[in-house]
Amino acid sequence: MKEINILIVEDEPIIAADLRRSIQKMGYSVAGTVESGQEAIEKVRAGQPDLLLMDIQLEGDLDGIETVKIIQRDYSVPVIFLTSNTDSVTFNRAKPTAPYAFMSKPFRQADLKHSIELALTGSNRDNAQNQSNEIQLSPQRDCIFVKDKGWMTKIKLRDILWIESEGSYCRINTEEKEYLVTGSLQKFAERIAVPFLVRVHRSSVINVKAVEAWKEGALRIREKEIAVSKTYRDEVKKLLLGV
């Protein structure tokens, strides 16, 4: 089972430490604890977490709501807002970001646990529903259109180098750019179904035409070493060598 990583954005050290302890006690991993909106944006860019616990009242130029709006331009990350301010103005500002929960401080541990579980469950369900909207296969089946910053962008299948699974997301790597889309790798591979894009691991699909080197249990594309699991080794070797 994939480890669930939760990013804590909280500028009160005592509350942040308490959140870290609570999350780890629930069996989740803490992707980091940051105090400002800018730090949160940089942390998400460095490695997208599975969930944001976002304090609304942050020090600095960006509060929690503005921070989430910026993150949501490029990333689909579920968010739970934490706040000591429950006025309607704050709530209405936060509502367009579609948070999975809006928790008032101080909060009970049981409420935090239930909110996290509901957010993760709801996010997985929404990702499954949205994948068909984020990935469209052309009628000729030679390219796909993926949602990227609000645009449906064309990617020729032959230009895909490899695809990686990251939980409920797929990272599509091409020579020019990397694209992040929602949905499982299994469903994505089933929709594409072309001979040169091949599953080599439960978390990887590769373009056999792009392979530059290989050895037992691994192959290399553009300096990226990709593991090949035992399940797929014979099939991959056959495709690479034509035997």
* Domain CATH code at residue 25: 3.40.50.2300
Task: Indicate if 102 and 156 belong to the same structural domain.
Answer: no
Regarding whether 54 and 98 lie in a shared domain, the answer is yes
Residues 153 and 219 in one domain: yes
pTM: 0.54
Note whether 102 and 95 are within 8 A (CB): no
Q: Are residues 89 and 141 in the same domain?
A: no
What share of the chain in percent tops pLDDT 90? 45
Q: Which of 86, 106, 126 is the last residue of a domain?
A: 106
111 domain-assigned = no
- Residue 126, in any domain of the structure: no
Per-residue pLDDT averaged across 109-129, rounded?
74
CATH code of the domain covering residue 181: 2.40.50.1020
> What pLDDT, in 10s, does the model give residues 12-61?
999 999 999 999 999 999 999 999 999 999 999 888 898 999 999 998 88
pLDDT (0 to 100) of residue 15: 93
The residue among 215 and 128 whose pLDDT is bigger is 215
Last residue of a domain, one of 106, 125, 148: 106
The verdict on residue 67 lying in a domain is: yes
Q: Say whether both 190 and 153 belong to one domain.
A: yes
Q: What is the mean pLDDT of residues 123-137?
A: 58
The domain in which residue 236 lies consists of 134-241
Number of domains in the chain: 2
Residues 226 and 140 reside in one and the same domain = yes
Six token digits for residue 62: 């960006």
Long-range contacts of 23-30 (CB under 8 A, 24+ apart): 23/53, 23/116, 26/113, 26/116, 28/3, 28/4, 28/116, 29/3, 29/4, 29/5, 30/5, 30/6
User: Which amino acid, residue 71?
Assistant: I
Q: What CA–CA distance (Å, rounded) separates 175 from 228?
A: 21
* pLDDT > 90? residue 170: no
For residue 128, tell me if it sits in a domain.
no
Query: In terms of domains, do 93 and 31 share one?
Result: yes
* 112 belongs to a structural domain: no
- Do 93 and 29 lie in a common domain? yes
Task: Pick 188 or 34 by higher pLDDT.
Answer: 34
Final residue belonging to a domain, choices 106, 123, 148: 106
**For the ranges 110-124, 153-167, 213-227, which has the lowest average pLDDT?**
110-124
Residue 36 domain-assigned (yes or no): yes
168 lies in the same domain as 102? no
**151 part of a folded domain:** yes
